[in-house]
Amino acid sequence: MEGIEEIKRLAKRIYGEDKGEQAFHKILPLIEGFPVQKSKRTGYFSEKDVVLITYGDTLNQEGETPLATLHGFANEFLKDAISNIHFLPFFPYSSDDGFSVMDFFEIDPELGTWKEVASIGQDFELMFDYVVNHFSSKGQWFRNYLEGQDGFAEFAMEVDPATDLSMVTRPRSLPLLSEYKKKDWQTVHLWTTFSADQIDFNFKSPDVLAKMIEVLLFYVEQGATILRLDAIAYLWKEIGTNCIHLSQTHDMVKLFQAILDRVAPDVIIITETNVPHDENISYLGDGRDEAQMVYNFTLPPQWLNFYYKVA
What is the C-alpha to C-alpha distance for residues 131 and 216, in angstroms, rounded to an integer?
Answer: 10
Burial class (CB in 10 A: 0-12, 13-18, 19+), 196: middle
- What is the DSSP pairing of strand 224-230 with strand 177-181? unpaired
What is the C-alpha to C-alpha distance for residues 218 and 38, in angstroms, rounded to an integer?
Answer: 17
Instruction: Name the residue among 116, 121, 139 with its Cα closest to residue 211.
Output: 139
Question: Catalytic positions, please?
Answer: 230
Query: Helix 206-221 and helix 17-32: axis angle, to 10°?
Result: 20
Q: How far is CA 75 from CA 79, 80, 81, in A?
A: 5, 9, 10
Q: Which residues of 235-253 are buried (b: 16+ CB within 10 A; e: fewer)?
A: bbbeeeeebbbbebbbbbb
What is the C-alpha to C-alpha distance for residues 242 and 31, in angstroms, rounded to an integer?
Answer: 33
Burial class (CB in 10 A: 0-12, 13-18, 19+), 304: exposed
